Structure 1
Amino acid sequence: MHCSLCIPEIVSLIFCETLNGAEQSLNHLNRDSAQTLAGLARTCKAFRDPALDLLWKSQCTVMNVLNCMPGDIWEVLDDTDAEEVRLKRAVLPTDWERPLIYSHRVRHFQYQLSYSYPDSAAFYEMLRMCLPPEPLFPNIESLLWETSDAALLPHFRLFIGPRLTSLTVSTFQSASHLSLLPTLATQCPLLQEVCILTSDGLPGHCEAVSFFVKQLTHLESLEVPCLDSVALDHLAKLPVLDLVHLHDQTPLSPVLELASQTEVPSSCDIDMLTLTVTDARAATDVLARLHASPICSLVIQFPKNTSADAVQEIYNGVAANCNHASLHTLSIALPPAGTTDTAADPEQIALHAVPGTHLFPTFLAHNAHVTAAEIARAWPRITSLDLAGSAFLHVPPRTTLRALLSFAQLCPHLWRLSLPINAHSVPKWRKAQTAAEARPTQRRLRSLHVGESPVGTPLDVAAYLSSIFPRLEWVSAGKENTRDEPVRTEVLAAQRKWKAVEAALPVLRKVRVEERYWTRREYEENSD
Structure 2
Amino acid sequence: MHQALLIPEVLLEIFAYVNERSYTQIRSTQKSLAALATTCKVFYEPAMDLLWAEIYQLEPLLGCVTRLHPLIYGSGIGVPWHNLWAHDVEPLSAHEARQFLRHSARIRKLNISSNHPSRSSHLLSVMPAEACVSPNLRSLTLSTKYLNHFLPHMLHQCHLLTVNESLESVVTRRFTLEHLCINIVDTCAYDTSTADELSLLSDRIRWCTRLDSVTLYCPILDWVAWKHLSYIPTILRVDIDQGLVDAPLLLEQDIINFSPFLNITSLLFHLYDAAYIIPVMQHSQFPSLKEFGLDIDILYSADAEELLRALSHCKATLEKISIQCFYDEFMGPLDTTLTIIPHFLCFTQLRTLQLMLFKSNSCIYLDNDILLEAMSTWPHIHTLEIKDSGFRPSSVSFHGLFTALRLCPQLHTLQLTINTATLDIDPDAELIQHTSLRTLKLEASNFPITNAETLARIIFAWLPCVDQVENGNRSWDEVNTHLTSLKAHALYVAGAS
Query: TM-score of the superposition, structure 2-length normalised?
Result: 0.74
Q: Give 1:334 shift.
A: 0.9
- The 1-side partners of 2:109 and 2:174 are apart by 15
Q: What's the CA shift string for 1:131-183, capped at 9, x where partnerless?
A: 344436141332224xxxxxxx444527522333322233x4xxxx4554344
Match of 1:43 among 29, 41, 44: 41
Q: What's the CA shift string for 1:39-82, capped at 9, x where partnerless?
A: 26x616xx655554433332224343334445499867979997
Is contact 1:280-1:313 (8 Å) kept?
no
Is contact 1:319-1:362 (8 Å) kept?
yes
Q: What's the CA shift string for 1:409-465, capped at 9, x where partnerless?
A: 212222221110111111153998xxxxx5643232232212253233212322343
Is contact 2:30-2:51 (8 Å) kept?
no
Task: Report the counterpart of residue 324 of structure 2 in structure 1.
Answer: 333
SS where residue 310 of structure 1 aligns? Answer: helix
Is contact 1:453-1:477 (8 Å) kept?
no
Q: Which runs of 5+ in 2 are unaligned?
A: 76-80, 349-365
Task: Report the counterpart of residue 141 of structure 2 in structure 1.
Answer: 144
Q: Give 1:292 shift.
A: 1.9
The question of 1:219 aligning with 2:210 is answered no
The question of 1:371 aligning with 2:404 is answered no
- The 1-side partners of 2:92 and 2:466 are apart by 72
- The 1-side partners of 2:416 and 2:333 are apart by 24
| 1:181 partner amino acid | L
Task: Report the counterpart of residue 185 of structure 1 in structure 2.
Answer: 171
Q: Give 1:475 shift.
A: 0.5
- The 1-side partners of 2:74 and 2:139 are apart by 31
Q: How does 1:18-57 map to 2 (within 5 A)?
A: 18-20=15-17, 22=19, 30-39=29-38, 43=41, 49-57=45-53
SS where residue 442 of structure 1 aligns? Answer: coil
The question of 1:500 aligning with 2:478 is answered yes
The question of 1:354 aligning with 2:338 is answered yes
The question of 1:161 aligning with 2:161 is answered no
Task: Report the counterpart of residue 487 of structure 1 in structure 2.
Answer: none
- The 1-side partners of 2:312 and 2:418 are apart by 27
Q: Give 1:354 shift.
A: 1.4
Q: CA 1:280 to 1:319, structure 2 compared with 1: closer, same or farther past 3 Å? A: farther
- The 2-side partners of 1:474 and 1:73 are apart by 58
- The 2-side partners of 1:25 and 1:138 are apart by 25
The question of 1:311 aligning with 2:295 is answered no
Q: Give 1:257 shift.
A: 5.0
Q: CA 1:503 to 1:232, structure 2 compared with 1: closer, same or farther past 3 Å? A: farther
| 2:452 partner amino acid | P
Is contact 1:77-1:84 (8 Å) kept?
no
| 2:147 partner amino acid | R
- The 2-side partners of 1:73 and 1:301 are apart by 46
Task: Report the counterpart of residue 320 of structure 1 in structure 2.
Answer: 313
Q: CA 1:132 to 1:265, structure 2 compared with 1: closer, same or farther past 3 Å? A: closer
| 1:102 partner amino acid | H
Q: How does 1:69-84 map to 2 (within 5 A)?
A: 69-71=65-67, 84=85
The question of 1:397 aligning with 2:394 is answered yes
Q: CA 1:33 to 1:77, structure 2 compared with 1: closer, same or farther past 3 Å? A: closer
Q: How does 1:127-276 map to 2 (within 5 A)?
A: 127-135=123-131, 137-139=133-135, 140-145=137-142, 153-155=143-145, 157=147, 159-163=149-153, 164-170=155-161, 172=162, 177-186=163-172, 189-199=175-185, 201=190, 202-203=194-195, 205-214=197-206, 215=208, 216-227=210-221, 228-235=225-232, 237-238=233-234, 241=236, 243-248=237-242, 257-260=255-258, 263-267=259-263, 270=265, 272-276=266-270
Q: CA 1:473 to 1:100, structure 2 compared with 1: closer, same or farther past 3 Å? A: closer
Is contact 1:167-1:195 (8 Å) kept?
yes
Q: CA 1:144 to 1:188, structure 2 compared with 1: closer, same or farther past 3 Å? A: farther
Identity %: 18
Task: Report the counterpart of residue 412 of structure 1 in structure 2.
Answer: 409
- The 1-side partners of 2:491 and 2:9 are apart by 55
Instruction: Say which structure is richer in helix.
Output: 1
Q: CA 1:514 to 1:96, structure 2 compared with 1: closer, same or farther past 3 Å? A: closer
Task: Report the counterpart of residue 360 of structure 2 in structure 1.
Answer: none
SS where residue 461 of structure 1 aligns? Answer: helix
Q: Which moved more, 1:16-25 or 1:206-215?
A: 16-25
Q: Which runs of 4+ in 1 moved over 6 A?
A: 1-6, 23-29, 76-82, 86-90, 510-517
Q: Which has the larger radius of gyration?
A: 1
SS where residue 110 of structure 1 aligns? Answer: strand
Q: How does 1:509-528 map to 2 (within 5 A)?
A: none
Q: What's the CA shift string for 1:15-60, capped at 9, x where partnerless?
A: 36423273999988833343145326x616xx65555443333222
Q: Which moved more, 1:71-80 or 1:197-206?
A: 71-80
The question of 1:380 aligning with 2:379 is answered yes
Q: How does 1:434-513 map to 2 (within 5 A)?
A: 440-454=432-446, 455-478=449-472, 495-508=473-486
Q: Which moved more, 1:312-321 or 1:182-191?
A: 182-191
Task: Report the counterpart of residue 291 of structure 1 in structure 2.
Answer: 286
SS where residue 20 of structure 1 aligns? Answer: helix
Is contact 2:262-2:288 (8 Å) kept?
yes
- The 2-side partners of 1:416 and 1:131 are apart by 55
- The 2-side partners of 1:218 and 1:13 are apart by 36
SS where residue 504 of structure 1 aligns? Answer: helix
Match of 2:56 among 53, 60, 64: 60
Q: CA 1:204 to 1:322, structure 2 compared with 1: closer, same or farther past 3 Å? A: farther
- The 2-side partners of 1:375 and 1:474 are apart by 25
- The 2-side partners of 1:427 and 1:502 are apart by 20
Q: Which moved more, 1:85-94 or 1:101-110?
A: 85-94
Q: What's the CA shift string for 1:366-400, capped at 9, x where partnerless?
A: xx99522111211122112112222xx63222222
SS where residue 387 of structure 2 aligns? Answer: coil
Q: Give 1:511 shift.
A: 7.0
Is contact 2:110-2:139 (8 Å) kept?
yes
Is contact 1:446-1:474 (8 Å) kept?
no
SS where residue 322 of structure 2 aligns? Answer: strand
- The 2-side partners of 1:68 and 1:311 are apart by 57
Is contact 2:453-2:482 (8 Å) kept?
yes
| 2:183 partner amino acid | L
Task: Report the counterpart of residue 483 of structure 1 in structure 2.
Answer: none
- The 1-side partners of 2:145 and 2:249 are apart by 33
- The 2-side partners of 1:91 and 1:322 are apart by 56
Q: CA 1:53 to 1:253, structure 2 compared with 1: closer, same or farther past 3 Å? A: farther
Is contact 2:138-2:156 (8 Å) kept?
yes
Task: Report the counterpart of residue 422 of structure 2 in structure 1.
Answer: 425
Q: Give 1:501 shift.
A: 0.8
- The 2-side partners of 1:4 and 1:511 are apart by 51
Aligned length: 452
Q: CA 1:77 to 1:448, structure 2 compared with 1: closer, same or farther past 3 Å? A: closer
